[in-house]
A and B are shown apart, each in its own frame.
Chain A
Amino acid sequence: NAGVTQTPKFQVLKTGQSMTLQCAQDMNHNSMYWYRQDPGMGLRLIYYSASEGTTDKGEVPNGYNVSRLNKREFSLRLESAAPSQTSVYFCASRLQGLETQYFGPGTRLLVL
Chain B
Amino acid sequence: GQSLEQPSEVTAVEGAIVQINCTYQTSGFYGLSWYQQHDGGAPTFLSYNALDGLEETGRFSSFLSRSDSYGYLLLQELQMKDSASYFCAVADSWGKLQFGAGTQVVVTP
Binding site for B on A (CB under 8 A): 31, 33, 40-45, 48, 50, 58-59, 90, 94, 96, 99-106
Q: In the complex, how many residues of chain B place their beta carbon closer than 8 angstroms to a beta carbon of chain A?
A: 22
Q: In the complex, how many angstroms separate the beta carbon of B40 from the nearest chain A beta carbon? A: 8
Whether the Cβ atoms of A48 and B31 lie closer than 8 Å is no
Binding site for A on B (CB under 8 A): 4, 31, 33, 41-45, 48, 50, 87, 89, 91, 94-102
* Chain A facing B: main interface SS: loop
Tell me the bound Cα distance from A96 to B97 in angstroms: 14
Whether the Cβ atoms of B43 and A45 lie closer than 8 Å is no
Select A43's contact among B41, B43, B45, B91, beta carbons within 8 Å: B43
Tell me the bound Cα distance from A94 to B89 in angstroms: 15
Contact A99 to B96, CB < 8 A, known contacts A105-B42, A106-B42: no
Whether the Cβ atoms of B97 and A45 lie closer than 8 Å is yes
Contact A100 to B45, CB < 8 A, known contacts A40-B101, A48-B94: yes
Tell me the bound Cα distance from A23 to B105 in angstroms: 30
Beyond A48-B96, A90-B43, 4 additional pairs, beta carbon < 8 A: A42-B99, A45-B97, A50-B95, A103-B43
Whether the Cβ atoms of B95 and A31 lie closer than 8 Å is yes
Whether the Cβ atoms of B94 and A42 lie closer than 8 Å is no
Contact A103 to B94, CB < 8 A, known contacts A41-B101, A42-B100, A42-B101: no
